[in-house]
């Protein structure tokens, strides 16, 4: 390819962008022919028209998106890469969207203002909590109503009192939610196993307006990048001298990445579609920073935890190994001098 450029006229060397639109496999096979085409399309001024260059670039981009024909396994691999790329792109977009979360209120100060004394509380980047007790002379409904009135007086929008039978993970209780434009709270009043009355509030940030657009943008970019990567790798493996090794490594890599991709998409869907609009802090896809895997709440609902095939930390490690194996597969499939032969179509 470099020799062809050396022999080409200055006019042809000025159209590297046109040639760069074509994938490497096409440039290796048809590089000289492409340069000749550019030269033939050059008009009296020594340069192809803008329309002619655009048509060539579109043709090159189509080649980048075209998987190997009559290769069903390659097509399946490209589709899997498309899906994994979309999941990874959505993860990146939602992570960027999480930077729009509002600063959480001081949990200790809020607990002291709205809960009976003595109250304790704490605050994290995406979480706050507060706790206190209530006397035996006060029932749970009255205790919860008192907190609800105090929050309303501070400007919180409060929901109605509801009764829980323990299926929500808390003992039989009375609870309600409260919200501002930045924060959501769940407040529970219940009796522990010894009969002591307890009040608990937990809070997390409202989803910012930019979160969904950034997630969708990341998803779309990821789908495109995933398809292009899958197609390029499929052609590379097809032209390799040791395709079986690369195919096995790629299959193992996809196998390791898939659980985290599926878990993340399921968790993100749960976060975005929770009917009440109050999914809880355990639903936040990036509670501890960028994550490409399921949330703790989704894993709890799916009964995935200790004793299961995969422990939570596996979902963070498996994609690293998976993408590493796919990268090795691409290196192993790197065309050499003997592999610069025509790629089958």
Which residues are CB-neighbours of 280 under 8 A, at least 6 positions away?
Answer: 186, 202, 204, 297
Do 212 and 245 fall into the same domain? yes
Whether 168 and 263 map to the same domain: the answer is no
**Over its length of 345 residues, how does the chain's per-residue pLDDT go in tens digits?**
444 444 444 544 556 777 888 888 888 877 778 777 776 766 665 666 777 778 888 888 999 999 998 889 889 999 999 999 999 999 999 999 999 999 999 999 999 999 998 999 999 888 899 999 987 767 888 999 999 999 999 999 999 998 877 666 666 789 999 999 999 999 999 887 777 889 999 999 999 999 999 999 999 999 999 999 999 999 988 888 778 999 999 999 999 999 999 999 999 998 888 744 455 667 889 988 899 999 888 887 777 766 677 777 888 899 999 999 999 999 988 765 444 444 333
Beta bridge partners of 187: 176, 201
Write down which residue in 205, 223, 253 finishes a domain. Answer: 205
pLDDT value of position 313:
80
Whole-number Å distance between alpha carbons of 318 and 320? 5
CB 170 within 8 A of CB 141: no
* pLDDT at residue number 292: 94
Last residue of a domain, one of 181, 205, 229: 205
- Residue 46 and residue 26 share a domain: yes
Q: What is the pLDDT of residues 77-127, one digit of tens each?
A: 999 999 999 999 999 999 999 999 999 999 999 999 999 989 999 998 888
In which domain, by residue range, is 140 found? 107-205
The per-residue DSSP string of 257-305 comes to HHHHHHHHHHHHHHHHH-TTS---GGG-TTTTSS--S--HHHHHHTT-S
Question: Do the beta carbons of residue 147 and residue 115 sit within 8 Å?
Answer: yes
Residue 251, CB-side half-sphere exposure with 13 Å CA sphere: 9
Structure tokens at 251: 């299959």
Same domain, 224 and 338: yes
- Residue 186 and residue 285 in one domain: no
Q: What is the C-alpha separation between 206 and 157, in angstroms, rounded? A: 13
How high is the pLDDT of residue 277?
Answer: 47
C-alpha distances out from residue 310 to 50, 296, 334, Å: 55, 13, 34
CA 328-334-336 angle, to 5 degrees, is 145
Distance CA 186, CA 190 (A): 13
Q: Are residues 335 and 239 in the same domain?
A: yes
Q: What distance in Å separates the CA atoms of residue 60 and residue 82, rounded to the nearest whole number?
A: 20
Q: Cα(217)–Cα(225) distance, rounded to whole angstroms?
A: 12
Are 49 and 128 in a shared domain? no
Residues 221 and 89 in one domain: yes
Q: What is d(CA 170, CA 186) in angstroms, rounded to the nearest whole number?
A: 12
Same domain? 279 vs 325: yes
Nearest to 291 by CA among 255, 261, 311: 261
pTM score, two decimals? 0.81
Domain boundary residue, one of 205, 221, 251: 205
Number of domains present in the structure of the chain: 3
114 and 39 in one domain?
A: no
Query: Same domain, yes or no, for 123 and 199?
Result: yes
Total length of the chain: 345
Same domain (yes/no): 169, 128: yes
């Amino acid at each position: 390819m470099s020799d062809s450029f050396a022999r080409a006229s200055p006019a042809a060397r000025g159209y590297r962008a046109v040639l760069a639109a074509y994938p490497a496999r096409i440039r290796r096979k048809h590089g000289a022919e492409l340069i000749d085409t550019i030269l033939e399309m050059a008009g009296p001024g020594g340069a192809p028209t803008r329309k002619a260059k655009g048509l060539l670039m579109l043709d090159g981009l189509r080649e980048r998106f075209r998987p190997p024909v009559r290769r069903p396994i390659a097509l399946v691999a490209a589709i899997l890469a498309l899906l994994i790329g979309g999941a990874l792109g959505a993860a990146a977009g939602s992570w960027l969207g999480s930077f729009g979360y509002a600063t959480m209120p001081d949990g200790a100060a809020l607990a002291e203002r709205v809960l009976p004394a003595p109250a304790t509380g704490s605050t994290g980047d995406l979480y706050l909590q507060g706790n206190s007790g209530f006397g035996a002379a006060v029932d749970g409904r009255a205790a919860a109503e008192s907190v609800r009135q105090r929050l309303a007086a501070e400007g919180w929008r409060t929901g109605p009192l509801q009764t829980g039978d323990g299926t929500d993970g808390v003992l039989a209780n009375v609870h309600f939610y409260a919200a501002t434009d930045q924060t959501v709270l769940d407040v529970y009043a219940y009796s522990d196993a010894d009969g002591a009355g307890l009040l608990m509030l937990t809070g997390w940030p409202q989803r910012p307006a930019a979160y969904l657009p950034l997630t969708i943008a990341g998803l779309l970019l990821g789908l495109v990048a995933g398809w292009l990567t899958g197609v390029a790798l499929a052609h590379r493996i097809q032209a390799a001298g040791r395709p079986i090794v690369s195919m096995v490594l790629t299959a193992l890599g996809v196998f390791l990445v898939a659980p985290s991709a599926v878990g993340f998409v399921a968790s993100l869907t749960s976060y975005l579609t929770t009917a009440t609009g109050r999914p809880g802090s355990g639903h936040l896809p990036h509670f501890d920073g960028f994550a490409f895997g399921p949330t703790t709440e989704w894993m709890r609902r799916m009964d995935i935890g200790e004793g299961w095939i995969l422990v939570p930390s596996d979902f963070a490690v498996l994609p690293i190994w998976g993408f590493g194996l796919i990268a090795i597969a691409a290196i192993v499939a790197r065309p050499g001098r003997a592999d610069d032969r025509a790629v089958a179509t």
